């Protein structure tokens, strides 16, 4: 009985787990921390009563909200401990710049640009452009009005577009 | 015609006014169309990245699943242990003749050394006996 219940839970959770991993990685930037955070969220879901778990209109949206809150807590405690030296801060500025130019053809540098955005903007990009959530879902996950999210999204899209064009032009000038 | 429609969507997109459906149209256009205006290349890179990023999955570590010790592992371990013991036993036997030789040599050396020591000791004892005799006679004279 218990075993089949567990199995159905893991089947149910499989795709959600991947989503949570991508979202936590976007917020925390570090791979290991995202793995830990994902495990943490899954444990929280697993410890929940089955009736409660199945009672959600969308378990996915609920899980993403838990994941988001967990990550923001992590970031806060890291800042409090003055330990904000995560992956993206390693290496000097010129280092990351040369890397950006080197990886011009690679799609990786797009991810790097996104990861340099503030955490709220990273979350919005991840939820809308990558996970393709509806505005009302994003609004409930981030606890913000839909209009605010549209404004944010517009601002981020324009900002990224400008950065993309800048990099492209630099590439042409240096050649 | 197509380009105009895309451009219109892009303007809406930048204002944050596109629906998921609109964005799906943009996504297919930019990831599938091979010839696009040069000014739109950043969009292709961006949508291409988003498409790839959605494929990332949680890394499953498979090593943990093979953890339980199988019986054949125990058998292999015991065979290895027996073999290792025998091997070390062989080395011991091989090493023995050499060690024996060395021990015999040491014993012989010790024996000769002890012989000289005892010779000297005997000579010393004879001298001491003579000294005792001389001592006795002088005592008698003094008395």
Mean pLDDT of A130-154: 95
Counting residues of chain A whose pLDDT is more than 90, the rounded percentage is 51
Residue B28 covered by a domain:
yes
- Across A76-83, average pLDDT: 70
pLDDT at res. A52: 79
At A96, the pLDDT band (50, 70, 90 cuts) reads low
Q: Is residue B80 part of a domain?
A: no
Q: What rounded mean pLDDT belongs to chain A?
A: 82
Give the Cβ contact number of residue B125 at 10 Å.
10
Which of A106, A151, A149 is closest to A128 using CA atoms?
A: A149
Residue B68, in any domain of the structure: no
Q: Extract the tokens encoding B4.
A: 């105009």
B79 domain residue, yes or no: no
Q: Is residue B92 part of a domain?
A: no
Number of domains comprising chain B: 2
Name residue, tokens 């929280």: A44
Contacts of B49 in chain A (CB under 8 A): 107, 110-111
* Averaged pLDDT, A129-150: 95
Banded pLDDT at A166 (limits 50, 70, 90): confident
Q: How far is A54 from chain B (nearest CA, A)?
A: 23
Residue ranges of chain A whose CB lies within 8 Å of a chain B CB? 17-18, 20-22, 25, 35, 38, 107, 110-111, 129-132, 134, 149-154, 157-158, 160-161, 164-165, 168
Size of interface A-B (CB pairs under 8 A): 61
The answer to whether position B118 is within a domain reads: yes
Q: Phi then psi for B67, rounded to 5 degrees?
A: -60, -45
Which of B18, B36, B53 represents a domain boundary (last residue)? Answer: B53
Chain A contact set for B42 (CB, 8 A): 161, 164-165, 168
Q: For residue A68, give the 3-state DSSP assignment.
A: helix
CB contact under 8 A, A111 and B20: no
Q: Which domains does chain A have, with CATH numbers?
A: 1-89 (1.10.1740), 91-175 (1.10.10.10)
pLDDT tens figures, A63-75: 999 999 999 999 9
| pLDDT band (50, 70, 90) for residue A103 | very low
Residue A26 class from Cβ within 10 Å (0-12 exposed, 13-18 middle, 19+ buried)?
buried
Q: Mutate which of A31, A114, A124, A129 to disrupt the B interface (most B C-beta within 10 Å)?
A: A129
The pLDDT score that the predictor gives to residue A53 is 78
A143 vs A140: CA distance, rounded Å:
5
Q: Which residues contact A61 (CB under 8 A, 6 or more apart)?
A: A137, A140, A141
- In whole angstroms, what separates CA A90 from the centre of its chain? 20
Q: pLDDT below 70 — which residues of chain B?
A: 1, 62-67, 90-96
B75 lies in some domain: no
pLDDT of residue A92: 46
**Structural domain harbouring B131:** 97-143
Nearest Cα residue to B52 out of B24, B31, B22: B31
Q: H helices then E strands: how many in chain A?
A: 9, 0
Give which of B49, B55, B60, B64 to mutate to test A binding, by max A Cβ within 10 Å: B49
What was the pLDDT predicted at A93?
A: 46
């Amino acid at each position: 009985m218990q075993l089949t219940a567990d199995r159905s839970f893991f089947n149910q959770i499989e795709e959600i787990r991947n989503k949570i991993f991508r979202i936590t990685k976007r917020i925390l930037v570090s791979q290991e921390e995202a793995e830990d955070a994902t495990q943490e969220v899954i444990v929280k879901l697993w410890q929940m009563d089955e009736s409660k778990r199945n009672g959600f209109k969308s378990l996915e949206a609920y899980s993403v909200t838990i994941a988001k809150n967990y990550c923001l807590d992590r970031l806060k405690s890291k800042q409090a401990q003055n330990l904000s030296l995560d992956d993206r801060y390693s290496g000097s500025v010129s280092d990351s710049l040369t890397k950006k130019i080197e990886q011009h053809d690679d799609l990786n540098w797009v991810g790097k640009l996104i990861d340099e955005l503030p955490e709220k903007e990273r979350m919005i990009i991840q939820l809308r452009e990558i996970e393709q959530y509806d505005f009302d879902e994003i609004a409930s996950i981030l606890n913000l009005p839909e209009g605010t999210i549209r404004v944010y999204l517009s601002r981020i899209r324009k900002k990224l577009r400008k950065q993309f064009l800048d990099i492209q032009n630099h590439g042409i000038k240096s050649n | 015609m197509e380009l105009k429609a895309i451009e219109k969507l892009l303007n809406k997109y930048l204002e944050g006014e596109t629906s998921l459906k609109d964005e799906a149209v943009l996504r297919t256009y930019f990831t599938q169309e091979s010839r696009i205006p040069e000014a739109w290349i950043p969009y292709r890179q961006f949508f291409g990245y988003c498409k790839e990023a959605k494929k990332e999955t949680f890394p499953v570590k498979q090593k943990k699943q093979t953890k339980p010790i199988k019986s054949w592992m125990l058998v292999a371990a015991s065979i290895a242990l027996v073999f290792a013991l025998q091997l070390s036993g062989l080395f011991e036997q091989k090493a023995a003749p050499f060690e024996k030789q060395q021990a015999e040599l040491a014993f012989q050396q010790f024996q000769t050394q002890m012989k000289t020591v005892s010779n000297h000791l005997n000579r010393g004892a004879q001298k001491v006996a003579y000294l005792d005799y001389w001592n006795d006679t002088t005592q008698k004279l003094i008395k």
